[in-house]
C-alpha cells in the first residue's frame, strides 16, 4: 500500500502542476482552452529529446532541471504561437481552436520519427522522483500565486470579470490574455518533462484531447479560478482510478463512464455555483439585453 | 497530353470521387451540428456519438436479418430518439447556465457514450455485415463502387427531404423562427421546447443514417468511431458557416475533397491535421464561415 | 469657451446600412460639464463608444488635446486621459471594492512580472502607493468601510459610485458618464447631481454625460447637445434647449408610448 502510494504521488504532483496551469488560463483568465495536453506533450518530448540526444555531462539532478527548463521554454513558445492567433476568438470558438491545435501537435509528433513517432519514445532516463516533483509543485504554485497577488495577476483576473471594462481601465487585455496563456502553457511543459523522466516512455496517444478533458475535469471539480481547488481536484482525480480499482475489477473498468457521469452531474447540479456568477464570455451576457445601439 | 498528366487527371478524378463520398458523410453529420447550433447556440460535442449509435443499430439489425432498406429508417429513428432523450434529460436543464457549462456537458455526454459503448460492446472493431454485395464500376482509371453510389444518392435524397422540411412545412417554419429569435417565437405561440427536441431528432437521425452508410463503406464499426468524424463534421459546419444549413453541406463536401487530395497527393498520416488546420485558418480569417456574415459585437 | 480638451469632428458610425450616428460634432473645454441627451436608441452610447475607441468611427475624427486618437485601442485612449462608466454597470463583480480601484491604477504601476514573482522592494513600495491612492478615492466616495466587500454585493447606488470612483482612478482629464442616473430613485438622483458637480470641482476635469432623463441634465449640465436618430438636432444652454420645439417633438414623439 505504501509503495503503491509512493508510485502514485509523483503523478499527483505532475497533475497538480497541469491543473494549476490550466486553471490560470481557463479559470483565472477566463479563456477556455481545450489544448492543454498539447503543451504538456511539447514539454514532455522536448525534455525527453534533451536527455536522450543531448544531455550534458552533468549530474542527473542538474540535467533534470535543464530538461524541465527546456520543456517550459518550448511550451511557452508553442503557447505564444498558438495563443496569439487563437486568443482573438472567444468562448466556445476558442475552445475548439485550441482543441484543434492540441491535436495538430499530437499528429506532428506522431509523424516525427526521431522522437519515436507512432512507436513511442523510449529510453528516457528516470530522473524524476518525489522530491523533485514536490519541489516543482511548490515552485509552480508560489509563482502563480505571487503573480495573481500583484498588478499583473489582477489584470489577468479583470479580463475574466469583464473584458470590456478592463480595456476601459487602460489594461491591454490581449497582452494579459497572452501572458496567462503562455505562462499556463509553460508550466504544462514543465510538468511534461517531469512526466517524461518519470514514466521513461512517451506515446503520442497519451496526449490526446481526452487528457485535456481530464485536466479540465480536475479544475472544474476543484472550482474554476481557485488554485487550492485545482490542487484538490488533481489529487482526487489521480487517486480516483486507483480507489475504483480497490472497489473491484468491474468498477475499475467502468471508471471512464463514471467520470463522464460525474462531469455531467457536476454541470447539472452546480452550473452556476462552480462557475460563480460570471460567464466566460462576458459579451454574451450582455448581448441578450438589447441595449441601444 | 503526356502520360504523366493523364495519370494526374485520372488520380485527381479518383480523389474527387472518394472525397465527395467522404464529404457526403461529413455533410450529413455536419447538418445536425449546424441545426442544433443554429437553434440553441450549443456546440453539441456528443453529436458524433449519434453517428456511432446509428452505425451500431444498423450493425445489429442487419445481423438480425433486417433488409437494408428497413435498416436505414430504424437506425435513424433509434439515433433520433436517443438524442431526444438526452436533450430532455441533460441539455434542457443546462440550457440557461451559459455556453461553457453546456459545452462541458456535451463533452461529458460524448465521453459517456464512447465508454459505455466500450463496456457494453467491447473496444475492438466489429465487421459490419455486408448487406449488399459490393460491385466496382470502372471508368478509364477511375473506380467507383456501388456503395459509393448509394452514399452519394442517399445523401442527396436526405438533403432534399431536409430542405423541403425546413422550407416548406409548418414545423420547418417554426424551426426557422425559433432559430431566428427564440423569445419572439415563444411569444408567437410556438412551443420552442418541442421544436428544439425535433431539431435534435432530425440532426441525430441524419447522423444515424451517416453511421449506417459509413459502416457499409469502411465495413467496420467501433465505439470510438464517432470522435474524429464528429470533430471533422463540426469543422465542416464551421467552415460553411455554423447555423447555416447549406453551409454544412458545402463545408462537408469541401472538407472531404480537401482531405482526400492531401492524402492522395501528399501524406496520409496528416489527414487529420488537414481538417484542424482548415478549422484554425477559417476561424482566424472568417470566423462566420464561408456563407456566414460577420457580426459586430455590441457593447 | 476655453480651448477644447476633447473635440469630435463630424463623427459618423454606420453598421451595414444603418447610420447610428451621423456627423456628430462636439467640443469640451477643460472643466466643462456637458450633457448629451436624446431618446432611447438615438445613438448616444455609440458616440461614447467612438470616443473611447470601442468602435472606430466610419468617418470623422476625435481629438484629445489637439491629437487625433481615432484607431487606438480603448486601453490606450484611457491611458491618454479619457475614462468612462457604463450604462449597465460593468464592475469586476467578483473582485473586492478596493481591487476594482487598484485595477484603475494598473497602467501606472512601475514593476515587472519578475518583481511580482520575487516580491521585491519595488513591488511592495508600488503596491503600497496603489493601495494608498485607492483608499483615498474610497474615502472620498464614502466606500472605505466596504473596501473588502465583493463589488457585486454592494447596493445599486454604491455600485454606481464605485464605478465613478474607478473611472477617476485612471486619473482622467475627461470623464464620460453613460446614463449615471439609470435605475436610481429621485432621492438618489438628487445626490448624484451633487456628486457630479462636486467631482468636477474637486478633480478639475471635464465631464460629458449621457442621459435620457432630461431633469438631471438640465440641472447639472452647462451645455447640452440633443441627438435624435443619430443626428444632432439642438445645442445650447439648458434654458434654450428646454424651449426648443425640435427637442420637445423628439421627446414627445417617443415618450408618449
Q: What is the pLDDT of residues B45-56, one digit of tens each?
A: 899 999 999 999
pLDDT the model gives residue A178? 97
User: What CATH number is associated with residue C246?
Assistant: 3.40.50.300
pTM: 0.87
| Inter-chain residue contact C49 with B299, CB threshold 8 Å | yes
Please give the pLDDT value at position B211: 93
Nearest CA among A105, A208, A39 for reference residue B270:
A105
Subunits that touch chain B (at least 3 Cβ pairs < 8 angstroms)? A, C
Segment among A21-25, B57-61, B186-190, C150-154 with least mean pLDDT: B186-190
The Cα B49–Cα B211 span in angstroms is 9
Distances from the Cα of B149 to the Cα of B11, B163, C39, angstroms: 19, 21, 62
C235 sits in which H/E element: strand C231-236
The pLDDT of residue B199 is above 90: yes
3-class state of residue C191 by DSSP: helix
The residue from C152, C171, C190 where one domain ends is C171
Q: What is the pLDDT, as a whole number, of residue A272? A: 43
pLDDT of residue A286: 38
C149 shares its domain with C37? no
Average pLDDT taken over every residue of chain A: 86
Q: Percent of chain C at pLDDT above 70? A: 97
Please tell me which of the candidates B43, B101, B114 has its beta carbon nearest to residue A267: B101
pLDDT at C149 over 80: yes
Q: For domain A2-284, give the fold.
A: ABC transporter involved in vitamin B12 uptake, BtuC (1.10.3470)
- Domain assignment present for C113: yes
| Among candidate residues C134, C151, C171, the one where a domain is terminated | C171
Q: Are residues C15 and C36 in the same domain?
A: yes
- Cα-Cα-Cα-Cα torsion C84, C86, C87, C89, nearest 10 degrees, comes to -140
Please give the residue of chain A at the shortest CA–CA distance from B181: A288
Interface touch B296/C15, C-beta < 8 Å: yes
| Per-residue model confidence (pLDDT) at position B1 | 65
How does pLDDT run across C12-39, given as a tens digit for each residue? 999 878 889 999 999 999 999 999 988 8
Nearest residue in chain A measured CA to CA from B183: A288
Q: What CA–CA distance (Å, rounded) separates C112 from C118?
A: 10
Does residue C88 lie within any of the structural domains? no
Same domain assignment for residues C194 and C221: yes
Provide block-wise average pLDDT over 10 residues at a time, chain A (293 residues).
75 96 94 94 96 90 95 97 88 85 91 90 92 95 94 96 95 96 97 96 90 88 83 87 79 82 83 40 36 31
Of C164, C8, C168, C173, whose CA–CA distance to C86 is shortest?
A: C164
Shared domain check, C178 and C163: no
Output the pLDDT for position B201.
Answer: 95
Q: Which three cell numbers stand for residue A25?
A: 488560463
A chain contacts of residue B47, beta-carbon cutoff 8 Å? none
- Which residues of B make CB contacts under 8 Å with A? 43, 90, 93-94, 97-105, 107-112, 114-116, 118-119, 231, 234-235, 238, 267, 269-270, 272-273, 276-277, 279-280, 283-284, 287, 297-299
Residues C93-118: tens digit of each pLDDT: 999 999 999 999 999 999 999 999 99
**C230 and C243 belong to one structural domain:** yes
The verdict on C204 and C134 lying in the same domain is no
Residue B59 has pLDDT above 80, yes or no: yes
Same domain, yes or no, for C4 and C120? no
Q: Are residues C72 and C7 in the same domain?
A: yes
CA angle B252, B245, B145 (to 5 degrees): 35
Q: Is residue C18 situated within a structural domain? A: yes
pLDDT at A2: 66
| Identity of the residue in A111, A272, A284 whose CB atom sits nearest the CB atom of B270 | A111
In the predicted structure, residue C9 carries a pLDDT above the cut 50? yes
Which grid cell sits at C182?
439609470
Whether C12 and C126 share a structural domain: no
- Are C230 and C59 in contact by the 8 Å Cβ rule? The answer is no
Same domain, residue pair C177 and C246: yes
Domain extent at residue C238: 1-81+172-257
What share of chain B in percent tops pLDDT 70? 97
Question: How far C249 CA sits from the closest chain A CA (Å)?
Answer: 20
What average pLDDT does this structure show over C78-82?
96
Domain endpoint, select from C156, C171, C186: C171
pLDDT by residue (tens digit) across C191-224? 888 999 999 999 999 999 998 777 888 888 999 9
Q: Cβ of A92 and B43 within 8 Å?
A: yes
**The pLDDT value given to residue A271:** 57
Cα gap B33→B277, rounded to integer Å = 19
Interface contact flag, B101 A88, Cβ < 8 Å = no
pLDDT confidence of residue C168: 96
Residue C210 belongs to some domain of the structure:
yes
Task: At C32, give phi and psi (nearest 5°).
Answer: -75, 155
Q: Are residues C68 and C181 in the same domain?
A: yes
Helices A130-148 and A151-161 cross at an angle (nearest 10°) of: 80
| Residues C143 and C157 reside in one and the same domain | yes
Q: Provide the b/e sequence for B30-61 (b: ≥16 CB within 10 Å).
A: bbbbbbbbbbbbbbbbbbbbbbbbbbbbbbbb
B298: chain A residues, CB-CB within 8 Å: 283, 286-287, 291, 293
The domain tally of chain C equals 2
Which residues of A, range 176-195, sit inside 8 Å of C by Cβ?
179
Residues A293 and C43: beta-carbon distance below 8 Å: yes
> Shortest CA distance to C105 belongs to which of B132, A169, A54?
A169
Using an 8 Å CB-CB cutoff, list chain B residues near C49. 299
| Chain A hits for B100, Cβ within 8 Å | 32, 91-92, 95, 275, 279-281
Q: What's the confidence (pLDDT) of residue B165?
A: 92
For chain C, the average pLDDT equals: 90
Q: Is residue C86 part of a domain?
A: no
Amino acid at each position: 500500500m505504501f509503495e503503491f502510494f509512493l508510485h502514485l504521488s509523483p503523478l499527483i504532483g505532475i497533475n497538480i502542476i497541469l491543473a494549476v496551469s490550466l486553471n490560470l488560463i481557463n479559470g483565472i483568465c477566463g479563456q477556455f482552452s481545450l489544448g492543454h495536453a498539447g503543451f504538456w506533450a511539447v514539454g514532455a518530448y522536448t525534455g525527453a529529446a534533451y536527455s536522450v540526444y543531448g544531455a550534458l555531462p552533468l549530474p542527473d539532478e542538474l540535467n533534470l532541471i535543464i530538461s524541465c527548463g527546456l520543456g517550459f521554454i518550448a511550451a511557452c513558445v508553442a503557447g505564444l504561437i498558438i495563443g496569439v492567433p487563437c486568443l482573438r476568438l472567444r468562448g466556445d470558438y476558442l475552445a475548439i481552436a485550441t482543441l484543434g491545435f492540441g491535436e495538430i501537435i499530437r499528429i506532428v509528433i506522431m509523424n516525427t520519427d526521431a522522437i519515436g513517432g507512432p512507436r513511442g519514445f523510449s529510453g528516457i532516463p528516470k530522473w524524476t522522483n518525489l522530491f523533485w516533483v514536490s519541489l516543482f509543485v511548490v515552485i509552480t504554485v508560489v509563482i502563480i500565486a505571487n503573480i495573481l497577488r500583484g498588478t499583473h495577476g489582477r489584470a489577468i483576473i479583470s479580463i475574466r470579470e469583464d473584458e470590456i471594462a478592463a480595456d476601459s481601465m487602460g489594461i491591454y487585455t490581449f497582452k494579459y490574455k497572452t501572458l496567462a496563456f503562455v505562462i499556463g502553457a509553460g508550466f504544462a511543459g514543465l510538468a511534461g518533462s517531469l512526466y517524461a523522466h518519470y514514466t521513461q516512455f512517451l506515446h503520442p496517444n497519451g496526449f490526446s484531447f481526452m487528457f485535456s478533458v481530464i485536466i479540465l475535469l480536475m479544475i472544474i471539480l476543484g472550482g474554476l479560478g481557485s488554485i487550492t481547488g485545482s490542487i484538490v481536484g488533481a489529487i482526487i482525480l489521480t487517486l480516483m482510478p486507483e480507489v475504483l480499482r480497490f472497489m473491484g475489477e468491474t468498477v475499475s473498468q467502468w471508471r471512464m463512464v463514471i467520470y463522464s457521469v460525474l462531469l455531467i452531474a457536476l454541470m447539472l447540479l452546480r452550473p452556476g455555483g462552480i462557475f460563480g456568477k460570471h460567464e466566460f464570455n462576458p459579451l454574451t451576457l450582455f448581448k441578450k439585453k438589447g441595449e441601444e445601439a | 497530353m503526356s502520360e504523366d498528366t493523364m495519370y494526374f487527371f485520372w488520380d485527381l478524378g479518383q480523389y474527387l470521387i472518394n472525397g465527395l463520398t467522404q464529404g457526403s458523410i461529413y455533410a450529413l453529420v455536419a447538418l445536425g451540428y449546424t441545426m442544433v447550433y443554429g437553434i440553441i447556440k450549443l456546440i453539441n460535442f456528443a453529436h458524433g456519438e449519434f453517428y456511432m449509435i446509428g452505425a451500431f443499430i444498423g450493425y445489429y439489425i442487419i445481423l438480425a436479418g433486417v433488409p437494408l432498406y428497413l435498416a436505414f429508417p430504424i437506425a435513424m429513428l433509434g439515433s433520433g430518439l436517443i438524442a431526444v432523450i438526452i436533450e430532455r434529460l441533460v441539455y434542457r436543464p443546462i440550457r440557461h447556465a451559459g455556453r461553457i457549462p453546456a459545452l462541458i456537458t456535451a463533452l461529458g455526454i460524448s465521453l459517456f457514450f464512447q465508454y459505455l459503448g466500450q463496456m457494453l460492446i467491447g473496444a475492438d472493431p466489429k465487421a459490419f455485415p455486408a448487406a449488399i454485395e459490393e460491385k466496382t464500376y470502372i471508368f478509364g482509371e477511375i473506380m467507383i463502387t456501388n456503395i459509393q453510389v448509394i452514399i452519394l444518392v442517399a445523401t442527396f435524397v436526405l438533403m432534399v427531404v431536409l430542405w423541403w422540411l425546413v422550407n416548406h412545412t409548418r414545423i420547418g417554419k417554426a424551426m426557422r423562427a425559433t432559430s431566428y429569435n427564440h423569445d419572439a417565437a415563444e411569444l408567437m405561440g410556438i412551443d420552442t421546447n418541442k421544436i428544439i427536441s425535433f431539431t435534435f431528432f432530425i440532426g441525430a437521425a441524419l447522423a444515424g443514417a451517416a453511421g449506417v452508410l459509413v459502416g457499409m463503406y469502411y465495413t467496420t464499426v467501433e465505439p470510438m468511431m464517432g470522435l474524429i468524424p464528429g470533430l471533422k463534421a463540426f469543422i465542416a459546419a464551421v467552415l460553411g458557416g455554423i447555423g447555416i444549413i447549406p453551409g454544412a453541406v458545402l463545408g462537408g463536401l469541401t472538407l472531404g475533397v480537401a482531405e482526400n487530395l492531401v492524402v492522395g497527393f501528399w501524406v496520409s498520416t496528416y489527414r487529420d491535421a488537414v481538417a484542424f488546420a482548415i478549422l484554425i485558418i477559417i476561424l482566424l480569417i472568417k470566423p462566420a464561415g464561408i456563407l456566414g456574415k460577420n457580426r459586430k459585437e455590441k457593447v | 469657451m476655453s480651448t477644447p480638451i476633447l473635440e469630435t469632428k463630424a463623427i459618423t458610425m454606420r453598421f451595414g446600412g444603418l447610420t447610428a450616428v451621423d456627423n456628430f460634432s462636439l467640443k469640451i473645454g477643460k472643466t466643462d460639464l456637458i450633457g448629451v441627451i436624446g431618446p432611447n436608441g438615438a445613438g448616444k452610447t455609440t458616440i461614447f463608444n467612438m470616443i473611447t475607441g470601442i468602435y472606430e468611427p466610419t468617418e470623422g475624427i476625435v481629438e484629445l488635446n489637439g491629437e487625433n486618437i481615432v484607431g487606438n485601442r480603448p486601453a490606450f485612449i484611457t491611458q491618454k486621459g479619457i475614462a468612462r462608466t457604463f450604462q449597465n454597470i460593468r464592475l469586476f463583480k467578483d473582485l473586492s471594492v478596493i481591487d476594482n480601484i487598484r485595477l484603475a491604477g494598473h497602467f501606472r504601476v512601475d514593476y515587472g512580472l519578475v518583481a511580482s514573482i520575487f516580491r521585491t522592494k519595488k513591488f511592495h513600495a508600488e503596491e503600497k502607493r496603489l493601495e494608498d491612492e485607492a483608499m483615498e478615492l474610497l474615502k472620498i466616495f464614502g466606500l472605505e468601510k466596504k473596501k473588502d466587500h465583493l463589488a457585486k454585493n454592494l447596493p445599486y447606488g454604491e455600485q454606481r459610485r464605485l464605478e465613478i470612483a474607478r473611472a477617476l482612478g485612471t486619473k482622467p482629464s475627461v470623464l464620460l458618464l453613460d446614463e449615471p442616473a439609470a435605475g436610481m430613485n429621485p432621492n438618489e438622483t438628487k445626490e448624484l447631481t451633487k456628486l457630479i458637480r462636486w467631482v468636477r470641482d474637486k478633480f478639475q476635469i471635464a465631464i460629458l454625460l449621457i442621459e435620457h432623463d432630461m431633469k438631471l441634465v438640465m440641472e447639472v449640465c452647462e451645455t447640452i447637445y440633443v441627438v435624435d436618430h443619430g443626428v444632432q438636432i439642438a445645442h445650447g444652454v439648458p434654458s434654450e434647449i428646454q424651449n426648443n420645439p425640435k427637442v420637445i417633438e423628439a421627446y414627445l414623439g417617443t415618450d408618449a408610448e
